[in-house]
Amino acid sequence: MTIRAKGRLAAAASGLALVLVAAGCTAADPGDDAGARSQGNQDSVVLADPVSEVSRIEGNSEEMALKASQAFFEKTPAVVVLGNDGAEDAAAGQARELGVPLLVAPEDALEDTSDQKAFATELERLGARTLIAHGALSDSLVGGREVVDGSVPDADLPDIDPAGGTTESGFAVVVRSGDKDAEAAGPALATAQAAGADHFTMESPDPRAAKNQEFFQKHAESELYAIGNGFGNAEDFSALAATAAGGKQLPGGGQLVFPDRRMVALYGTPGTSSLGLLGEQDVDAAIKLAKKYAAEYQPHSKEKVQPAFEIIATVASASAGDDGKYSSYVPVERLEPWVKAAEAAGVYVVLDLQPGRNDFLTQAKRYEKLLSYPNVGIAYDPEWRLKPNQRHMVQIGSVDAAELNRANDWLAELTREHQLPQKVVILHQFTQSMIRNRSTLDTSHPELAMVVHADGHGSPGMKMGTWENLRRDLPDGIRMAWKNFIDEDSPTFTPEQTFDIDPKPWFVSYQ
């Protein structure tokens, strides 16, 4: 199983062959195999070999129809052509019935244009001798070929021998729904269906969406084509399609974290009761407690409430340590049993980093093995990110958004490489100054679901003041999260009170 992708994805993406069909791409070299397949009855249809690269080029209906013909057909004695004032539905239906391409006549066909030349070149490549017209065609487009009026009920259509086995062509096609771009893809879709391609209409452009996954998994061995302009960046779509086909799931199912779930987490470090609620019991008891907390929130949420752990993986320390960084690593070997037990129990895990004078990327890389699990995300805790000569509990730490972006770039690439479901990324914050240049945070990685965690404690008024302050100028693509301090808050919010906050938090942790 291979997904063919450009650039840095070529070696990493596997599981699905994807081609975005649009305008302007040259036809793939059919190669020796396709040449051998072309030898036969001159009235037979021969399917093309699939294009071997991912391409994403915006185009109109005419351009996409041309590209689809190039992608799906190597040879055909006849072509259905949608001309001026022709009925597209009728033309598409006839192309599917006959098993031949549907082309759209160039609007400026009376002039010697590049579109007209591309149309003529495609007819020559296909070896088409008959044009089955729906609507008016100019003589310059016909080029001396036989023209049959396909809109006439008793039209004398050519006797065409369709390509053998088109019902198992190995082609699969996705299109978008609900906009003009989707409508423009209609003729190209008809050509794909004429070649025997299975097809699926995507409401969401993300292959990982719940309604889309089954199709991508079913066609993991197919040559997949996305027809239309509504699929975003080609490289991203290719990688996300491979993730969807691979089928790795989040706890509770699905590959996208939000908006179909919220999370309630225990915070702390295994075996260390002084750092939070999580460390007050062993892993089995912690799983049981996390599920109890999540169940208490469920009556107040229409979304599923997922139990979670937020584990402090690197702990801010008063002493410099051997490396002088004022942060100690909890060994991977100590945390992995918790990650595995959580995965088996349907519990999500977030690894919290308190880096001291280290940087977040360096610390995140130490936990690459754990972050390669589908149920593990990451939290950055800028309160404990020291500048040179700063000390914990003397100054409040801070980080520039550029450092967080570097860490997220690496995490997104790791997620993409291993075809993992989307990862939670938590940004702890209780003052605006803790994340400098917050407006420059890169929220474009589809592999990451980012939340700002309101990390303040105290009275309800103090906590809500922190909440509203952090919401101000929050970059697009970042959700809000909340922390309840069992000892420091006065009083601690109940589940009902916590989920009555506006907006309702997507992630809640207990310390």
Q: What is the pLDDT of residues 183-219, one digit of tens each?
A: 889 999 999 999 999 999 999 999 999 999 999 999 8
* Domain locations in the chain as residue ranges: 7-246, 261-510
Q: How many residues in total does the chain contain?
A: 511
Residue 112: predicted pLDDT:
64
The pair of structure tokens assigned to 184 is: 């423009």
d(Cα 399, Cα 417) in Å, to the nearest integer?
27
Residue 472: predicted pLDDT:
95
Is the omega angle on the peptide bond into residue 374 within 30 degrees of 0, that is, cis?
Answer: no
Q: Determine the 3-state secondary structure of 190 from DSSP.
A: helix
Q: What is the pLDDT of residues 94-145, one digit of tens each?
A: 999 999 999 999 976 556 688 899 999 999 999 999 999 999 998 888 989 9
Quick one: pLDDT band at residue 168, thresholds 50, 70, 90?
A: low
Give the angle 324-327-328 at the CA atoms, nearest 5°: 110
d(Cα 37, Cα 148) in Å, to the nearest integer?
27
Q: What percent of the chain has pLDDT over 70?
A: 87
Task: Return the H-helix or E-strand segment holding 123.
Answer: helix 114-126
Contact 356, 386 (CB under 8 A): yes
CATH 3.20.20 fits 261-510, yes or no: yes
Quick one: pLDDT band at residue 221, thresholds 50, 70, 90?
A: confident
Q: What is the pLDDT of residues 350-378, one digit of tens each?
A: 999 999 999 999 999 999 999 999 999 99
Give the angle 153-100-200 at the CA atoms, nearest 5°: 105
Is the omega angle on the peptide bond into residue 491 within 30 degrees of 0, that is, cis?
Answer: yes
Contact 43, 249 (CB under 8 A): no
Quick one: pLDDT band at residue 1, thresholds 50, 70, 90?
A: very low
Give the least confident one: 104-108, 172-176, 268-272. 104-108
Give the angle 251-254-260 at the CA atoms, nearest 5°: 95
Only one residue has tokens 């539905």, namely 89
Residue 27: predicted pLDDT:
37
- Asked if the model's pLDDT at residue 397 lies above 80, the reply is yes
- Asked if the model's pLDDT at residue 22 lies above 50, the reply is no
Give the least confident one: 44-53, 338-347, 426-435. 44-53
Residue type, 322: D
Name every residue whose Cβ is closer than 8 Å to that of residue 504 and which is 6 or more positions away in sequence. Answer: 262, 301
* CB burial string 344-371: b at 16+ within 10 A, e below: ebbbbbbbbbbbbbbbbbebbebbeebb
Only one residue has tokens 């309840």, namely 484
* Distance of alpha carbon 400 from the chain centroid: 27
